[in-house]
Amino acid sequence: MKISKLKNLWHLPLLLAILVQFWPLVFMISTSFKDMNQIFQASLNPLPLPPTLVNYETVLNNFPFFTFLNNTLFIAIFITVIKLVTSVLAAFAFVYYDFKYKEVIFNSMLLTFFIPFTVLIMPNYLLMSKLGLLNTPWGVILPQLVDGMGIFLMRQTMRGIPKALLEAAVLENASPLQVLYKVILPLIRPSATAISIFFFIDAWNEYFWPLLVLQDKGMYTLPLALQMFISAEGGSEWGIAMAVAMLTCLPPLILYFVSQRFILNTFMQSGVKG
């Protein structure tokens, strides 16, 4: 009995952490359903009484919300698909082939993961400007089509496949591409899905690079549009801002709820030294 009571005590810090992590979200949700009076008079009350949809109505009626949504979707899906392809192909090369400088090349790809983003923005911005891609989705997409972490995670998953399976396929005269899509891809589908979702969430949430590239409001993505509610409205339209915030984080949250087991397992691998 004594042991189990002591064990239960360890739940306290964890519950505290959950409280801290969830409080901001609860506030976002409840504020988005409150009208102006409720926000300022009952800002600590997590329950909007009565809940109102006025903020959401304003967002949908007064702002080109669906334009923002489309822009974000297009960019995020495009990036996800291409990133998946480049990561799978590169990881496959690292798993299937033996070649000179393999480790050096792999490490130099992984290392890009650690390059601070601001170091890259000015030269990439100048390049996009030269190519005339500023203020287009392509300017946002192009520099994000490859991911060191993605290649690392993909390689980790592929390494989990027993070598004999690949060899069995090779003995049957399967070409490298056949080995990839007949053996490897079906076997890594759960992890590859998780990695894609991670790509998608990342691309969806991206704020800084689109901010530099996209100038027209009609081109904005949702995270960028959020900015309009702080600067323009001077911070008084909190309900509307929270409604947009809510809508912005809804797709990632839904994807997370649907696939959290795969996502967590894949992320747990990411710190494993390979």
Partner 1 sequence: MNNIKLTNICKAYGETVVVNNLNLEVKQGERLILLGPSGCGKTTTLRMIAGLESITSGELEISGKLFNTIPPGERNIAMVFQSYALFPHLTVWENIIFGLKIQKLPSEEIKKRAAKALEILNLTGYESYRPKELSGGQKQRVALCRALVKQSPYFLLDEPLSNLDAQLRQQARTELVKIHEIYKPTMIYVTHDQVEAMTVAHKIAILNKGTLQQIGTPKEIYNNPANTFVAGFIGTPPMNLCKAHLLYDKIFIGNECLVLPEKYREVVKERSTVVVGIRPERCTLEKSPMVEAKTVFVEDLGNQRITRLQLKTGEEIYVSTVDHKYSFALAQGFSFEWENVCFFDVGSGKNLIS
Partner 2 sequence: MHKSNWQAWLFLLPATLLFLIFFYRPLIENLYLSFFQWNMISPTMKFVGITNYHSIFVSAELLKIFFNTIFLVFILLILNFVLPYIYSYILGHLITKMQSFYRSALFLPSTISLAVASIIFLWFYNPIAGPLSIILNSIGLESPRWFKEDGLVIIAIATIIAWKSFGYNLIVMLAAMVAVPKELIEAAKLENASNWIIFKRIILPMTSPTALYVFTITVVFGLQYMLVPVNMITQGGPNQGSSNLVYIVYQYAFVFFQTGKSAAFAVLTMIFYVVILVAKYKFIDKKVHYEN
Per CB under 8 A, residues contacting partner 1 are: 162, 164-165, 167-175, 178, 182-183, 186-187
Cα–Cα distance between 231 and 235 in angstroms, integer?
7
Pick 22 or 181: Cβ nearer partner 1: 181
If binding is defined by CB under 8 A, does position 92 make contact with partner 2? yes
Does the protein bind partner 2 through residue 124 (CB under 8 A)? Answer: yes
Q: Which of 50, 116, 162, 186 binds partner 2 (CB under 8 A)?
A: 116
Q: How far is the CB of 92 from partner 2 (least distance, A)?
A: 6
How far apart are the C-alpha atoms of 87 and 155, rounded to whole Å?
9
DSSP string covering 203-269, please?
A: HHH--HHHHHH--SGGG--HHHHHHHHHHTTTT--HHHHHHHHHHHHHHHHHHHHHHHHHHHHHHHH
- Shortest distance in whole angstroms from residue 79 CB to partner 2: 12
Going residue by residue from 208 to 227, which x/- string records binding to partner 2, judged by CB under 8 A?
Answer: x--xx---------xxx-xx
With CB under 8 A, what is the number of residues at the site for partner 2? 96
Q: Does 157 bind partner 2 (CB under 8 A)?
A: no
Q: How far is residue 133's CA from residue 118's CA, in Å, rounded to a whole number?
A: 19
DSSP 142-206: GGGS--HHHHHHHHHHHHTS-HHHHHHHHHTT--HHHIIIIIIHHHHHHHHHHHHHHHHHHHHH-
Min dist. Cβ of residue 103 to partner 1 (A): 15
Report the partner that residue 215 touches, choosing among partner 1, partner 2, none (CB closer than 5 to 8 A by kind): none
Report what 194 binds from partner 2, partner 1, none; CB cut-off 5-8 Å by kind: none
Q: With the C-alpha atoms ordered 266, 267, 268, 274, is the resulting torsion angle positive or negative?
A: positive
In the complex with partner 1, the residue whose CB is nearer, 102 or 217, is: 102
- Rule CB under 8 A: say whether 131 interacts with partner 2: no
Place of tokens 């008079």: 41
Verify binding: residue 22, partner 2, rule CB under 8 A. Answer: yes
- As a whole number of angstroms, the distance between CA 176 and CA 243 comes to 49
**Closest to partner 1 by CB, 163 or 261:** 163
Where do we find the tokens 């901010």? 211
Selected binder of partner 2 within 5, 98, 130, 232 (CB under 8 A) = 98
